[in-house]
Structure 1
Amino acid sequence: MKKILILIILVTITIFNCTERDLMIMRDADREMNERGLECRYNKRGGVENCRYAN
């Protein structure tokens, strides 16, 4: 019983740590996008062709 409880706790901690790391990566990417901005190209109909980071 102790082994199962310890395993559940370790798995929960591992999942939480991975989730926190992913959130940090996404926050960094969002911050970088806001700092640099995006340049988008539009076609004749007004639709977006592609977007890229501004230099």
Structure 2
Amino acid sequence: MDEKTGNAGPDRIEHSRDDRLKAALKANLARRKRQVRARQNARESDAAPRDENED
């Protein structure tokens, strides 16, 4: 008979902590990539000649 308790064992705590850390690292990497792309796009749009009749 399996007993289910509300207490998480040390293995479960470490596993969920690792999962949270991995998710946070993945999110931070994605955010940094978006920031780099946004900066590159801003630089490219500033360097590109603009059409004065563009409205």
TM-score, normalisation: structure 1: 0.70
Q: Percent identity between the aligned chains?
A: 7
Greater strand share, structure number: 1
Cα RMSD between the aligned structures?
Answer: 1.3
**Structure 2 unmatched ranges of 5 or more:** 1-12
In structure 1, the residue matched to 2:27 is 15
AA aligned opposite 1:8 = R
Q: How many residues align structurally?
A: 43
Separation in 2, partners of 1:40, 1:13? 43
The answer to whether the aligner puts 1:33 opposite 2:45 as a matched pair is: yes
Runs of 4+ residues deviating >3 angstroms: none
Q: Based on CA coordinates, which of the two structures has the bigger radius of gyration?
A: 2
Structure number with the higher helix fraction is 2
| Gapped regions of structure 1 (runs ≥ 5) | 43-47, 49-55
